[in-house]
């Protein structure tokens, strides 16, 4: 019997081979592929332009038993077209209200939990360094931040929202801007740990003490945090589990053993460490 081969599609972005998200997705899918005794092809594609999804041989049923998307950069129309080609597919890191197979992390709920935590510590001047807003995770974390302020009667101020794109350089620039404000924030929520670590570094350069003068929260629970001089409060999201379940469900769909659509949201957990304290201002 021919071995099944599944294609894991990973969008190309800066420093992808050092990306915590990409590494965890590949690891999770690989664990399942090994257990199921199937092959897995990792296919790295361009972001934004997905014409190759309809021209590459790996997107055909003659090559792949199914397609697992690590993310889709909001190109939902392209996913719908792939579905019409009758090749089984499942999308990670995005959630659809329509009948599309998907498994996502509840980014919105996790961010709301972060905001409640910071507000209970007495913070009202809370800034955000948002991620890539072409991704659902970036959008949902920003929405959770804004809604978390609004429901607690705190105004959402544009000066406290900066773009970090999930990358070091723009995050560092954002941190420098925020921490140079005459009325600087007492807390910063960064939509990834990579960006939060830049906030910690900039704060150190400016002589701002963490957490006495500034509380910082990240998102991911990235192993890089082990190299930080202070424990970073963050959100631990089950990326490996998402990919593991994703390929398992895709395999069952391809075998006709799973009722479709498969749609799941996984819970992320707030991990409290030393980078947050009660507001002293």
* Domains of the chain listed by start with CATH number: 5-105+237-266 (3.40.50.2300), 107-236 (3.40.50.2300)
CB 33 within 8 A of CB 6: yes
Q: Which two tokens stand for residue 267?
A: 């819970």
SS3 39: strand
Closest CA to 9 of 246, 168, 241: 246
Q: What is the pLDDT of residue 61?
A: 80
Residue 13 pLDDT greater than 80, yes or no: no
Distances (CA, A) of 220 to 102, 193, 266: 20, 6, 14
d(CA 27, CA 11): 16
pLDDT tens track for 220-230: 999 989 888 89
pTM recorded for the entire structure = 0.92
pLDDT tens track for 90-101: 999 999 999 999
pLDDT tens track for 96-153: 999 999 999 999 999 999 999 999 999 999 999 999 998 999 999 999 999 999 999 9
H helical segments located in 106-238:
107-120, 136-150, 168-178, 193-205
Q: Which of 53-67, 223-237, 238-252 has the highest mean pLDDT?
A: 238-252
CB 175 within 8 A of CB 188: yes
Query: Please, is 196 exposed, middle or buried when counting C-beta atoms within 10 Å of its C-beta (0-12, 13-18, 19+)?
Result: buried
């Amino acid at each position: 019997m021919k071995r099944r081969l599944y294609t894991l599609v990973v969008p190309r972005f800066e420093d992808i081979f050092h990306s915590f998200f990409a590494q965890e997705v590949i690891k999770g899918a690989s664990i399942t592929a090994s257990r199921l005794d199937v092959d897995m092809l990792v296919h790295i594609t361009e972001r934004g332009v997905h014409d190759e999804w309809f021209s590459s041989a790996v997107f055909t049923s003659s090559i792949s038993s199914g397609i697992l998307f690590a993310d889709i950069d909001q190109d939902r129309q392209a996913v719908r077209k792939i579905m019409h080609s009758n090749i089984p597919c499942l999308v990670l890191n995005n959630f659809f209200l329509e009948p599309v197979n998907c498994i996502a992390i509840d980014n919105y709920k996790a961010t709301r939990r972060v905001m409640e935590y910071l507000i209970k510590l007495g913070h009202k001047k809370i800034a955000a360094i948002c991620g890539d807003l072409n991704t659902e995770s970036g959008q949902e974390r920003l929405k959770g931040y804004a809604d978390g302020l609004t429901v607690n009667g705190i105004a959402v101020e544009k000066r406290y929202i900066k773009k970090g794109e999930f990358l070091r350089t723009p995050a560092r620039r954002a941190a420098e801007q925020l921490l140079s404000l005459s009325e600087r924030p007492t807390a910063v929520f960064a939509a990834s740990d990579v960006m939060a670590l830049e906030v910690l570094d900039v704060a150190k350069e400016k002589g701002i003490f963490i957490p006495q003068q500034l509380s910082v929260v990240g998102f991911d629970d990235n192993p890089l945090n082990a190299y930080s001089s202070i424990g970073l409060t963050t959100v631990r999201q089950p990326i490996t589990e998402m990919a593991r379940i994703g390929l398992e469900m895709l395999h069952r769909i391809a075998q006709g053993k799973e009722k479709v659509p498969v749609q799941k949201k996984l819970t992320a957990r707030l991990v409290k460490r030393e980078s947050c304290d009660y507001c002293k201002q």
